[in-house]
Structures are given as C-alpha cells and as structure tokens.
Amino acid sequence: MKSSLRLLPLLAILGLAACNTMAGAGRDIQSGGAALTGEARKTQAQM
C-alpha cells in the first residue's frame, strides 16, 4: 500500500510531462503545416 502511494505522485508528474510534450509536438506540426500552406500559395500565385 505504501509503495502505491509513493508511485502516485510520480505517475501524475509523468502524465503531465507527456501532455506538455504532445502539446509541443502539436504546435510544431501546426507551424510546419502553416509554412507548407504559405509556400503552396506562393507557388500557385506564380503559375
């Protein structure tokens, strides 16, 4: 029982870290998509 209570805060911290990592990856992917969209629009305007 004591070991379970000791692991609970650790699991909570790991869960929060994973959420922040995924949020950061989502922002990176979003900025990459925005850059790709911008380049596609430039290319389309040149045609």
Residue bearing the bigger pLDDT, 8 or 36: 36
> C-alpha angle 45/38/19, rounded to 5°?
160
20, two tokens: 């922040």
State if pTM tops 0.85: no
- Write the pLDDT tens digit of every residue in 20-33: 788 888 889 999 99
Which of the four pLDDT bands, split at 50, 70 and 90, describes residue 13? confident
Instruction: Give the chain as a DSSP string.
Output: -HHHHHHHHHHHHHHHHHHHHHHHHHHHHHHHHHHHHHHHHHHHHH-
